[in-house]
Chains A and B, each alone.
Chain A
Amino acid sequence: MAPRSLTPGVATKGSAAEGRSEPSTTVRLTGDRDLSRRLPFFDVCCLIAVAGLATAIGFRRPEILALTTPFLIAAAAGLALWRPIDGQISIRADRSRILEGEEVTILVDITSASGIPRVEIELEPSARLAAVGSLRAVTTVRPGSTATLAFTVRGSEWGIARINKLTARLNDRFSMFGGQADVFTDTTVTIGLPEDRISASLEAERFRRIVGSHQSNDRGQGMEIADIRPFQPGDSTRNINWRISNRRQEPWVTLRHPDRSTTMVVIVDAHDGGDDEQRITQRRSVSAAMALSRGHLAMHDRVGLLVVGHTVQWLPPKLGRNQLFQIADHLVAVSNAPEASRRMYRPPAVSTIPNNAIVVAVSPLRDPLMVALVAEIRSRGNPVSVLVPESLQPTRTRARLRITSRTNEQARRLAAVEQQIGVQSLRERGVGIVGWAPDDPVVTVIDQVRQLRTAMARGRSW
Chain B
Amino acid sequence: MLTWQIDRILRSGPLCAVATLLLPIALALLVNAQSDTENVLGIMLVASGIIFIGSIAGSTLTSGLGAVLFGLGTLVAEVPVALMAAVGSGLYITLILHDLAGAFHRGPRINPTVWRDAAVTTLVLTGLTAVAFAVTYTIGGLATWQSIVVPFAIAAIGFSAKLAADAHRTSARQLTARRSPQPDE
Interface of A toward B, CB cutoff 8 Å:
1-4, 33, 37-41, 43-53, 55-57, 60, 62-71, 73-77, 79, 117-118, 120, 122, 133-134, 136-140, 147, 149, 164, 169, 171, 173-175, 184
Contacts and interface: CB of A to CB of B under 8 A. Distances in A.
A139 B173 CA distance: 30
Given A70-B91, A77-B125, 14 more contacts: A2-B111, A3-B111, A4-B109, A46-B159, A48-B64, A57-B152, A65-B133, A67-B71, A67-B75, A67-B84, A73-B128, A118-B114, A139-B111, A164-B185
B75 A70 contact: no
Nearest to A121: B108
Contacts of B107: 134, 136
B6 interface: no
A41 B126 contact: no
A57 B149 contact: yes
A69 B133 contact: yes
Contact of B183 (A66, A118, A184): A184
B129 A118 contact: no
A66 B111 contact: no
A57 B74 contact: no
Nearest to B64: A44
Given A33-B173, A65-B152, A173-B117, A40 B133 contact: no
Interface string B152-173: 1100100110110010001001
B112 A2 contact: yes
Contacts of A56: 149, 152
Contacts of B89: 70
5 contacts: A33-B177, A44-B60, A52-B71, A140-B117, A174-B121
Q: Name, among A70, A79, A174, the residue most crowded by chain B CB atoms within 10 Å (CB to CB).
A: A70
A399 to B, nearest CB: 36
Please classify the interface of chain A as helix (H, G, I), strand (E, B), loop, or mixed, using the class held by over half of its residues.
helix
A73 B109 contact: no
B110 A70 contact: no
A184 B185 contact: yes
Contact of B113 (A37, A68, A139, A169): A139
B103 interface: yes
B155 to A, nearest CB: 8
Contact of A73 (B85, B113, B118, B132): B132
A60 B145 contact: yes
B99 A175 contact: yes
A123 to B, nearest CB: 11
Contacts of B84: 63-64, 66-67
A51 B68 CA distance: 9
B26 interface: no
B148 interface: yes
A448 B96 CA distance: 72
B61 interface: yes
A138 B170 contact: no
Nearest to B115: A138
B99 A67 contact: no
A47 B104 contact: no
A40 B54 CA distance: 12
A206 B48 CA distance: 74
Nearest to A2: B111
B111 A138 contact: yes
Contacts of A175: 96, 99
Contact of A3 (B106, B109, B163): B109
A271 to B, nearest CB: 23
A139 B116 CA distance: 11
A68 B109 contact: no
Interface in B125-146: 125-126, 128-129, 132-133, 136-137, 140, 145
A93 B67 CA distance: 45
Contacts of B88: 66-71
Given A48-B71, A63-B84, A118 B173 contact: no
A49 B155 CA distance: 11
B71 A41 contact: no
B47 interface: no
A46 B67 CA distance: 13
Top-6 shortest CB links A-B: A44-B64, A136-B108, A40-B60, A70-B92, A139-B111, A66-B85
Nearest to B63: A44
B95 interface: yes
B185 A70 contact: no
A67 B177 contact: no
B87 interface: yes
A79 B162 CA distance: 10
B5 interface: no
B113 A48 contact: no
B71 A134 contact: no
A173 B156 contact: no
B182 to A, nearest CB: 7
B27 to A, nearest CB: 11
Contact of B166 (A38, A136, A171, A174): A38
B57 interface: no
B14 to A, nearest CB: 14
B95 A41 contact: yes
B9 interface: no
B125 A74 contact: yes
A422 to B, nearest CB: 37
Q: Name, among B106, B108, B113, the residue most crowded by chain A CB atoms within 10 Å (CB to CB).
A: B108
A136 to B, nearest CB: 3
B165 to A, nearest CB: 11
A1 B108 CA distance: 8
Nearest to B75: A64
Nearest to B152: A53
A121 B65 CA distance: 29
